[in-house]
């Protein structure tokens, strides 16, 4: 799923993921700062989750960092199922999942 500046046909951000054995893995999500809080992240997540459901995935899984925005995913129905502390101090990898059924 891509976020494209239609005026200049330039890719600005997007989502990279994959499906395997009934699980949708969200690998990367990037929304440029000027487009955050304007629905772009929600739009690409909705489209990717819809495609995963079309592929008969029952679960979505991802990891994010504590220093990033796990709240964005929590607001979308993802729940934390693991946490691994890492550098810098106070940071952690946050593992999250969501039921797509």
**Coil, strand or helix at 41:** helix
- pLDDT value of position 58: 98
Q: What is the pLDDT of residue 68?
A: 80
* More confident call, 4 vs 47: 47
21-54 in b/e form (b: 16+ CB < 10 A) is eeebbbeebebeeeeeeeebbeebbeebbeebee
Q: Calculate mean pLDDT across residues 9-21.
A: 94
Using DSSP's 3-state secondary structure scheme, residue 91 falls into: strand
> Is it the case that residue 99 has pLDDT exceeding 80?
yes
Q: What is the pLDDT of residues 51-69, one digit of tens each?
A: 999 999 999 999 999 888 7
Q: How far apart are the first and last CA of the chain?
A: 21
CATH topology of domain 2-99: Aminopeptidase (3.40.630)
Domain limits, the chain = 2-99
C-alpha to C-alpha distances, 27 to 24, 64, 79, nearest whole angstrom: 9, 9, 17
């Amino acid at each position: 799923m891509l976020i494209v500046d239609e005026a200049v046909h330039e890719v600005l951000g997007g989502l990279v993921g994959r499906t395997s054995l009934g699980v949708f893995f969200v690998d990367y999500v990037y929304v440029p700062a000027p487009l955050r809080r304007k629905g772009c992240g929600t739009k690409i997540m909705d489209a990717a989750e819809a495609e995963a459901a079309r592929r008969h995935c029952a679960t979505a899984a991802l990891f994010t960092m504590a220093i990033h925005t796990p709240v964005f995913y929590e607001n979308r129905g993802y729940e934390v199922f693991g946490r691994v502390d890492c550098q810098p101090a106070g940071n952690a990898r946050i593992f999250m999942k969501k039921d797509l059924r």
